[in-house]
Chains A and B, each alone.
Chain A
Amino acid sequence: GESVGLHLPTLSVQEGDNSIINCAYSNSASDYFIWYKQESGKGPQFIIDIRSNMDKRQGQRVTVLLNKTVKHLSLQIAATQPGDSAVYFCAEISSGGSYIPTFGRGTSLIVHP
């Protein structure tokens, strides 16, 4: 499959556990934050986004938490499954009318059956 990065942080979990993937961002003026999942050999897949005026948003089995004080974003995956194994990226969208996303380096999630 495609290599999306070398020396990525890796999170290994057992099937059924909850996973928490973290991301630090740099621009306190960013409007939106997005989480993507990228499986080997595929393009990134949108998971969930959150506006900067929110601190929590939930989706199907996923929750994103935003802490603007420390410029930290996290993605929580409940009851992790082997199909969740992938690289997860966060992205921040700068404000000011320009849609220019800046991506984190990614975290490799490995789910053991």
Chain B
Amino acid sequence: KAGVTQTPRYLIKTRGQQVTLSCSPISGHRSVSWYQQTPGQGLQFLFEYFSETQRNKGNFPGRFSGRQFSNSRSEMNVSTLELGDSALYLCASSFTAGDTEAFFGQGTRLTVV
């Protein structure tokens, strides 16, 4: 079966702009989590969605937001981009909320210039 699909793979944006990233989970998976990975901070949890509701949120500013649709696909949005937002953004899906076995996509590499 198809894995987790993230689009786009690469993105270059200018400071102050906003960006929307997309994640399609594995078919049948209803939980989607988002992560930010940088060389300096490593892998950090952003938020988790299940049944179109945000269940958990990491320690990120309100510029980072997300949503989940009825088909379990998810998007995350970052507004007023800063240079420090440059990172690999990863999405992971799991069958249900809080499932430890999550499957990651390849990520979206965001560069803010």
Contacts and interface: CB of A to CB of B under 8 A. Distances in A.
Interface of A: 2-6, 32, 34, 41-46, 49, 89, 91, 93, 98-106
Contact of B42 (A2, A49, A93, A106): A106
A45 B44 CA distance: 15
B109 A43 contact: no
A2 B104 contact: no
Contacts of A93: 100
Given A2-B107, A43-B90, A99 B42 contact: no
Contacts of A98: 56
Interface residues of B, number: 26
Nearest 3 A/B pairs, CB to CB = A43-B104, A103-B43, A99-B98
Contact of B45 (A5, A45, A100): A100
B58 interface: yes
B37 interface: yes
